Amino acid sequence: MALFILRRLGVMVLTALCMTLIVFALTNLPPNLEKLAKTQAGTRITDDEVHSWLERNGYSAPILRRYGEWLGVVPASVATDAAGNVVGGRCLRGVRSTSIERVPRYCGVLQGEWGYSTKFRVPVSDLVTERLARTGVLMFWAFATMVPLALIFGVLAGMREGSVTDRTLSTISIASTSTPEYVSGVVFVVVFASSAVGLKWFTGSAKSAVNGITFENFTLPVATIALYGMGYIARMTRASMAEVMTAQYIRTARLKGVKFRDIVLRHALRNALIAPFTIVMLQFPWLLTGVVIVEALFVYPGFGDALVQGAQNNDIDLLLAVSVVAVVVVLVTQLISDIGYALLNPRIRVS
Amino acid sequence: MRKTDADGPILEIDSLSISFFTRAREIPAVMDFSLTVQPGEAVGLVGESGCGKSTVALGVMQDLGTNGRIVGGTIRFKGRDLAQLGREELRDLRGCEIAMIYQEPMASLNPAMKIGRQLMEVPMIHGGLSAKQARAMALRMLEDVRLPDPRRILNAYPHQLSGGQQQRIVIAMALMSKPSLLILDEPTTALDVTVEAGIVDLVRDLGRKYGTSMLFISHNLGLVMGVCDRVCVMYSGEAVERGSIKDVFDDMRHPYTQALFRSIPRPGADKIRHPLVAIPGNFPLPHDRPGGCNFGPRCSYFEAGRCDAQNLHMAPVPGKDRHETRCVRFREIDWNQPLQAPDRAARAQVGEVVLEMEGLRKYYEVTPNTLFGSGGKRVVKANETLSFDVREAETLAIVGESGCGKSTFAKVLMGLETATDGKITLDGREIQDKPIHKRGRALVADVQMVFQNPFDTLNPSMSVGTQIMRALEVFGIGRSDAERRARMLEMLDLVKLPRDFANRRPRQLSGGQKQRVGIARAFAGGARIVVADEPVSALDVSVQAAVADLLMDLQRERKTTLLFISHDLSIVRYLSDRVMVMYLGHVVEIGATEQVFAPPYHPYTEALLSAVPIADTHLQKTRIVLEGDIPSAMDPPPGCPFQTRCRWKDRVPGRLCERVLPPDIPLGEGHRIKCHLSADVLAEMEPVIKPAAT
Amino acid sequence: MEQLSWTGALGPWLNPAIGAAVLAFGIAAIAHMFVALLTAGQRLQHAPGTAARHSPLAYRLTRGGLSLALGALVVVALAYLVGGILLPPDQKGIIGYLSTRFLPVWIALGLTFALSFAFRRRLGLYGHLFDNPVGMIGLGLVLFWVFTAVFAEMIVTFDPVRDVLPGMKNRAPGTPLANPAQGQFDHYLLGGDMLARDVFSRMVAGARVVLAIAPAATLFAFMVGIVLGLPAGYLGGRFDSILSFAANLVMAFPVILLFFLLVTPEIVEMGVPAYMAAVLFLFPIIFLVILWNARYRTHPMRRNILVGLTFLIGGWLYLGLAWDADPLGLISIPDGVLIVFVSVVFVNSPTVFRIVRGLTLDIRTRDYVAAAQTRGEGAWYIMLWEILPNARGPLLVDFCLRIGYTTILLGTLGFFGLGLPPDSPDWGSSINAGRGLLQVFPFPPLVPAVAIMSLVLGLNLLADGLREESLKD
């Protein structure tokens, strides 16, 4: 087991490296850098000024070298003026002193330096932590609504395949998988929050949720995220449950004289939940898209909003941090899903 | 436990009819079926797949699924009509008074629940026992089914046990509440022969010990004979004959029963003196049954106007106890008329040596992960020093149970794998290192294969004709499509299939027909060596003979060398010239068929012979039950591979068997065995199968 | 001209009728649920499924009531549509006008269903769909949008992009034009958006954009997934490890981040989409060439013709689509569409790869594959002619689901204003444009939202029907 986890961690690191390299390469394409220079130093600057701005801020070195700088395995290049004072460069961002001795040589991820957001003008680590906390709350509630509902739906539907309950719940699940967040969000706002035709039960913006979550301002975003994922998990659970219910060992249990309720709870449930468990965990990368959409639609300044802002303004350090966080979340959930699968499924555990 | 006591029969099924309902129509699965099981009696229910025997069992359990329904007749258990029972009453009955065991032991056990919990559940539900009492009871039961180390097994999960152990658990679970009736639905089909023999013994002994009545469902007449007192033969949804084992086996009064016995190879029968007689035609589909007698169209005693006139009923055979048959002509037929053997050409002359194996080895390395390959590599020794030769037009049977390496050997010969060591010489050319894509077209066409599973052997999305044509194309036969088409039609003639089958899809064919197409495909390129990997074992008994005959006819005509891989010693004895017995990758015995089937045996061959179920009341056999299971090829025992299960081991001095791999001992005329036993011990061996003392 | 009502002259009769039908349906549904719960014990006394015969009277009664109410609901809904077409123009409501505009779609839909139903026994799996109500509803929804896209020019009432009519900004559905020109349609049936364009016409034109991109992109993703997934599953080894790692890498990328990085003007400026297209669009050609070569290696003549044709036609399309260098000047894709197309293909391919690989791993153990190996068939023949045809069932089902998912992805791109030009009538962009004032003027984003949902729902139901029917075989 330990070896397995170790190997998975290795793959994780490799994946994260590949991914950040891709993100790094895409954000550092010349047109993107030019755009960055213009947003930072003024839109009307000449090409020469763009060039010197990039030079001064350490954006002109070869891409792999700068990737190494970001990682913290290559000393960061610094631009100094005639007096020997540091005027620019990766490590200067966020540091007050300009004397060369006070500026650290390495300032990459390995040193805990995530860089400085050019859009928000704060250290990336502070920004990301704050945003992640907000999104975490949103995700928590979304999961807390979505997963139990989906599992109950799936188990009830798959328990007796072909029954009226099954047909009804399956139709609901299909409808829910067909409703992406930007559709359900729009419909929810129109129905429940719109001042023109709606019921006005909830608010159509979650901006105030930053200062405190209330039933009014948080219901719609949570429901919007939960709805799209719910149908998918419910359908997987149903399929898995229906398959288990036709298994020979369920017949054995039935012919042993076990009560239907006990067949479902003791014999079927554990076997039926193995597959959905994996699915639930793999929902995280999907949920991220949902989070971005919902945060945009309901104006909630969370992690998704940071991603959008970072991308729209080519905020390189922010985007890199965002993608590291995203990939870590994805891979950790994959790892948990594998371990959980092994724990739930005694057949795997031994080998 | 609440049990009802009754004096009468345990189970009384009276003119039961069961149908399945699809959206389109009603499909009758069982019609007018009656059966009585007396206390302590074991009744066999015999028939081919699709005859409705399992449906009867599920009908008794009142568990026919969503679209099955009892449409007529009654099932009484100890006098109570099961259809009238409420949900609670039914549940009290199931598992407590009637228990059922079925085919796949692995599938019957909950994979995520420990064995102990699954066993304890029964007395806890039905007897209201505490967990502790139930556990003690489970422990006793595991000892009863002769499982080693029951305490450990109670805490194990099903997948940690072997197939034979799992089936013992299932039996233990069924017997936990000491039921009055035990229904066994093909309980050993998924198991190896030697394991099967152990299970059958166990069932018989425990049935006697607890006085349980049994309904034993099987397609294997030999097994039924070994376990049951009475037997009921089913054909296409109906019972056709019923009676005591002796009456039905020796004085059958229904043409189907007779035909069934004539189509199975019996010990002592070989292909020249006692040819098998296949039942002509195919099993009727449930919605396509003929009027009158269902067996009519395939029956050699058929008389138009009488047999197909009206629905038939069971009629008692005069002078016999409870022996009944569903045949209008049973009084007129001369049942003792000797079989008119179809004319058959004499055995083909065996020619030159075509294929030679010399010290062939095949090892596999098993690595856990390919991208980050690390950790211990393990070696599976699938084949260990195989040496033998085969001649033209000869049939060599390769016999062994699962894991003995017979399929690996086939793969190496076909070129799907290359040998680790040793030589394969075909017509003087060495081919052990030539994978299939390096073999020339002629060589590939020369060595062909017939596969085991008829449902898997043909590509479901291509028509039958296209598949044979493709083989012809690949083997470079015929210059144009038209020529190949003509050739393909000839091939269909050759395997006795109608020509319009060329345009059919495999799913429109029956298992036997698919297997014929598979044979046509293998012979398409004029193969000189055909490897037949269990070609008939997945087919119904009545079809097996026809397919085996076809294979032999083709072989004789074309002087093909046939390597016949099988675990079924009856059929092997029937059609092979020589036999090679394999165990855990080793050849333990090889010789002419008569030599192998007569003493002295290799101890494994002896056990294998003893395990074969025989459907003949005139024969008796020594019972040798092997302990334990076949060891894994990943981790074979030291010394002789068979030493862990050998009953002769203590006759070899100095624990030689556990240390040294035995040498090949020649016994004359090409017969040799791999064993440490001395000549005088071997001479002591007695034949396993003997005529019964009457 | 006055403001149109939703139902026009039909309202006074049909509105109460539909109210009654809905009420009846609700009551019947609740009653049935209660009865089903109460009688569960009695019904289960016998084997399940015998329920039909032995179920108690109350159960059968409520179930009958439920079906009856559902039938009534459908009849009234149809009455709105048919009645709307039949009414004279001055009495039509919005629904009536809409129904009339969709007339070509109704006719095509009716013809397709009638023909398919008549010949359903000879149409294989497609024909079996007509035994399956769920599949039929799905197919109906999908075909509705397909025909809408086909007949878009006949259906639209205004030009979806250029017709910006003064005074129609953010108007409610059914608003009449202030002073319609001669021959011009005189209402904005579903209102006007924030730039005073006709919401209805934009929705119809959006169907064409979505249905031009989504199925084609899915098809390309399948080509890539199949060409890579088959050998990965069949040959295994290092090739499989590397490809699987790459697929996992792409799948670990949050889709949205990938879109934000790829679908930007800066990336298009660098020519990245063209390079990606150059790689991705090669796969169909590779696929066909290998396909022909494997099948007809024993017929060199026929193979050469087929391979030649593939190179000729495929090459021409390839030059036009990927490099915008069609020598005949007939084929080209605008950059914005190309990048959207390419990134959607890129996101979908790894998933298809995984599915194909899994199916291949399963099917390669079959005896007919071994039979092909023992007669010396090449690896590609086995993959493409022995394995692939037998994986078609699950692949077809996934294809339908994936078109739906691709539609959702396109909507996502539009929602963030990525790729397609901002005035594009596609549904995602329309939602994006309207979401700012959603709470005050709900219709501009609501209409395309419902359109997306109904199309995806149709595809999902269709896939479900296909899955059920293919399992029955």
| Triad A187, A193, A198: Cα angle to 5° | 75
- Sheet with B378-391: list strands edge to edge: B378-391, B353-366, B421-426, B429-430
Tell me which H or E stretch contains B674.
Answer: strand B672-674
- Indicate the pairing of strand B11-21 with strand B213-218: unpaired
Give CA–CA dist C198/B690, Å, rounded: 96
Residue C252 in domain? yes
pTM: 0.87
Of A18, A165, A182, the CB nearest to C411: A182
Q: Do B107 and A259 touch (CB under 8 A)?
A: no
Interface of C with B in 286-315 (CB under 8 A): 298
The minimum CA-CA distance between A279 and chain C, rounded to whole Å, is 14
Residue pair B158/B110 in contact (Cβ under 8 Å)? The answer is yes
For residue C322, the model assigns a pLDDT of 81
Whether B224 contacts chain C with CB within 8 A = no
| Helix then strand then coil, % of chain B, to nearest 5 | 35, 20, 45
In a 3-state reduction of DSSP, which class is residue B133?
A: helix
Q: Do A347 and B94 touch (CB under 8 A)?
A: no
Lowest mean pLDDT among C22-26, C195-199, C361-365: C195-199
Whether B99 contacts chain A with CB within 8 A = yes
- Residue type at C59? Y
Query: Taking 80 as the threshold, does the pLDDT of residue B490 lie above it?
Result: yes
Q: Which chains touch A (3 or more CB pairs under 8 A)?
A: B, C
Residue pair B570/B628 in contact (Cβ under 8 Å)? The answer is no
With 0-12 / 13-18 / 19 or more C-beta atoms within 10 angstroms meaning exposed / middle / buried, residue B224 is: buried
Of C45, C50, C367, the CB nearest to B453: C367
The band of C54, judged by pLDDT with boundaries at 50, 70 and 90, is: low
In a 3-state reduction of DSSP, which class is residue C153?
A: helix
Q: Which residue has the tokens 């898995």?
A: A240
Which tens digit of pLDDT belongs to each residue from B10-54? Answer: 888 888 888 888 767 788 888 888 888 888 888 999 988 878 888
Co-location of C90 and C212 in the same domain: no
Which tens digit of pLDDT belongs to each residue from B159-188? Answer: 888 888 888 888 888 888 888 888 988 888
Residue C163 in domain? no
Q: Do C375 and B65 touch (CB under 8 A)?
A: no
Sequential DSSP letters for C428-466:
HHHHHHHGGGTTT--HHHHHHHHHHHHHHHHHHHHHHHH
Give CA–CA dist B564/A182, Å, rounded: 65
For residue A96, the model assigns a pLDDT of 58
Tell me how far CA of residue B304 lies from CA of A71, B298, B310, B328, B497, in angstroms.
91, 12, 11, 12, 26
Give CA–CA dist C419/C272, Å, rounded: 13
Co-location of C261 and C377 in the same domain: yes
Of B67, B370, B415, the CB nearest to C238: B370
Biggest CA pair distance of chain B: 79
| Helix then strand then coil, % of chain A, to nearest 5 | 70, 5, 25
Whether C55 contacts chain B with CB within 8 A = no
Residue pair A20/A320 in contact (Cβ under 8 Å)? The answer is yes
CATH code of the domain in which C274 resides: 1.10.3720
In a 3-state reduction of DSSP, which class is residue C10?
A: coil
Counting one residue from chain B and one from chain C, the pairs whose CB atoms sit within 8 A come to 93
The band of C49, judged by pLDDT with boundaries at 50, 70 and 90, is: very low
Counting one residue from chain A and one from chain B, the pairs whose CB atoms sit within 8 A come to 76
Give CA–CA dist B97/B640, Å, rounded: 46
Instruction: Count other Cβ atoms within 10 Å, centred on residue B658.
Output: 14
The band of C45, judged by pLDDT with boundaries at 50, 70 and 90, is: very low
Long-range contacts of A93-102 (CB under 8 A, 24+ apart): A94/A123
Give CA–CA dist C336/C268, Å, rounded: 8
- For B454-566, where are the alpha helices, taking DSSP H only? 464-474, 481-494, 511-523, 541-558
The band of B5, judged by pLDDT with boundaries at 50, 70 and 90, is: low
Domain count, chain C: 2
Give CA–CA dist B384/B405, Å, rounded: 9
Co-location of C95 and C225 in the same domain: no
Residue pair C131/B23 in contact (Cβ under 8 Å)? The answer is yes
The token pair at A52 is 């010197």
Co-location of C96 and C213 in the same domain: no
Query: Taking 50 as the threshold, does the pLDDT of residue B620 lie above it?
Result: yes
Whether A167 contacts chain B with CB within 8 A = no
- For C181-264, where are the alpha helices, taking DSSP H only? 199-235, 237-252, 255-262
Tell me how far CA of residue A6 lies from CA of A11, A341, B369, in angstroms.
9, 17, 13
Q: Specify the higher pLDDT residue, C43 or B229.
A: B229
**Contacts of residue B170 in chain A, CB cutoff 8 Å?**
252
Counting one residue from chain A and one from chain C, the pairs whose CB atoms sit within 8 A come to 146
Prediction ipTM score:
0.87
Walk me through the domains of chain B, giving residue ranges and CATH numbers.
11-228 (3.40.50.300), 352-576 (3.40.50.300), 591-691 (no CATH)
Of C240, C376, C390, the CB nearest to B439: C376
Whether B25 contacts chain C with CB within 8 A = no
The token pair at C292 is 């022909």
User: Residue C259 is part of which domain span?
Assistant: 203-457
Residue C120 in domain? no
DSSP tag of B72: E
Tell me how far CA of residue B346 lies from CA of B164, B350, B547, B548, B593, in angstroms.
42, 12, 19, 16, 17
Whether C261 contacts chain A with CB within 8 A = yes
HSE toward the beta carbon, residue B469, CA cutoff 13 A: 20
Co-location of C231 and C358 in the same domain: yes
DSSP tag of B589: E
Residue pair B630/B192 in contact (Cβ under 8 Å)? The answer is yes
- Residue type at A94? G
**Contacts of residue C367 in chain B, CB cutoff 8 Å?**
451-453, 456-457
**Contacts of residue A23 in chain C, CB cutoff 8 Å?**
257, 261
Alpha-carbon C176 to chain mean position: 33
Q: Do A10 and B372 touch (CB under 8 A)?
A: yes
Alpha-carbon B630 to chain mean position: 18
Q: Please compute the mean of the pLDDT values over residues B449-465 and round it to a whole number.
A: 87
Sign, CA dihedral B466-B468-B473-B479, equals: negative
Q: Do B112 and A162 touch (CB under 8 A)?
A: no
Q: Do C236 and B457 touch (CB under 8 A)?
A: no
Q: Please compute the mean of the pLDDT values over residues C345-349 and round it to a whole number.
A: 92
Q: Which chains touch B (3 or more CB pairs under 8 A)?
A: A, C
Sequential DSSP letters for A183-222:
HHHHHHIIIII-SSSS---S-S--GGGGG---HHHHHHHH
**Contacts of residue C459 in chain A, CB cutoff 8 Å?**
178
Whether C260 contacts chain A with CB within 8 A = yes
For chain C, first and last CA: distance in Å?
A: 58
Residue C244 in domain? yes
Q: Specify the higher pLDDT residue, C345 or A332.
A: C345
Residue C320 in domain? yes
Give CA–CA dist B630/B626, Å, rounded: 10
Q: Please compute the mean of the pLDDT values over residues B396-402 and round it to a whole number.
A: 86
Residue C196 in domain? no
- Sheet with B181-185: list strands edge to edge: B98-101, B181-185, B213-218, B42-46, B230-235, B238-244, B324-325, B315-316
Domain residue spans in chain A?
2-111, 124-344
Residue B97, C-beta contacts closer than 8 angstroms, at least 6 positions apart: B3, B4, B77, B78, B177, B179, B180, B181
Alpha-carbon C381 to chain mean position: 32
Residue pair A185/A223 in contact (Cβ under 8 Å)? The answer is no
SS (H, E, C) C357-375: HHHHHHHCCCHHHHHHHHC
Tell me which H or E stretch contains C293.
Answer: helix C282-295
Residue C122 in domain? no
A interface test, pick of C145, C241, C415, C418 with most A CB neighbours within 10 Å: C415
Whether A267 contacts chain B with CB within 8 A = yes
**Contacts of residue A337 in chain C, CB cutoff 8 Å?**
none
For chain A, first and last CA: distance in Å?
A: 9
CATH of A124-344, one of 3.30.2010.20, 1.10.150.20, 3.40.50.2030, 1.10.3720.10: 1.10.3720.10
Whether C40 contacts chain B with CB within 8 A = no
Interface of A with B in 9-48 (CB under 8 A): 10-11
Buried-exposed string B589-628: b where 16+ CB fall within 10 A, e elsewhere: bbbebebbbbebbbbbbbbbbbbbbbbbeeeebeebbbee
Rg value, chain A, Cα: 25
For residue C110, the model assigns a pLDDT of 93
| Helix then strand then coil, % of chain C, to nearest 5 | 75, 0, 25
Residue in chain B nearest C132 by alpha carbon:
B23
**Contacts of residue C238 in chain B, CB cutoff 8 Å?**
370-371
The minimum CA-CA distance between A306 and chain C, rounded to whole Å, is 11
Query: Taking 70 as the threshold, does the pLDDT of residue B85 lie above it?
Result: yes
For residue A311, the model assigns a pLDDT of 85
DSSP tag of B458: S
Give CA–CA dist A181/A228, Å, rounded: 6
Which tens digit of pLDDT belongs to each residue from B652-685? Answer: 887 888 888 888 888 888 888 888 888 888 888 8
Residue pair C84/C93 in contact (Cβ under 8 Å)? The answer is yes
pLDDT in tens, chain A (351 residues): 677 778 878 888 888 888 889 888 888 888 888 888 887 777 777 888 888 888 877 787 888 888 888 888 888 777 666 666 666 666 666 555 566 666 677 777 888 788 888 888 888 888 999 999 999 998 899 889 998 999 999 998 988 887 778 888 898 999 999 999 989 998 888 888 877 677 777 877 777 777 777 777 888 899 999 998 898 889 889 999 988 988 888 988 888 888 888 888 888 888 888 888 877 777 777 788 888 999 988 888 989 999 988 888 888 888 888 888 888 888 888 888 877 777 777 765 444
Give CA–CA dist C347/C341, Å, rounded: 10
For residue B72, the model assigns a pLDDT of 85
B interface test, pick of C374, C377, C382 with most B CB neighbours within 10 Å: C374
Residue B177, C-beta contacts closer than 8 angstroms, at least 6 positions apart: B1, B95, B96, B97, B99, B122, B123, B126, B127
Query: Taking 50 as the threshold, does the pLDDT of residue B123 lie above it?
Result: yes
Query: Is the backbone peptide bond immediately before B600 cis, with ω within 30 degrees of 0?
Result: yes
Residue C159 in domain? no
**Contacts of residue A267 in chain B, CB cutoff 8 Å?**
110, 113
Interface of C with A in 44-63 (CB under 8 A): 44, 48, 63
Give CA–CA dist B160/B163, Å, rounded: 10
Q: At what angle do helices A2-27 and A316-344 cross, to 10 degrees?
A: 160
Q: Do A160 and C261 touch (CB under 8 A)?
A: no
The token pair at C417 is 């204003």
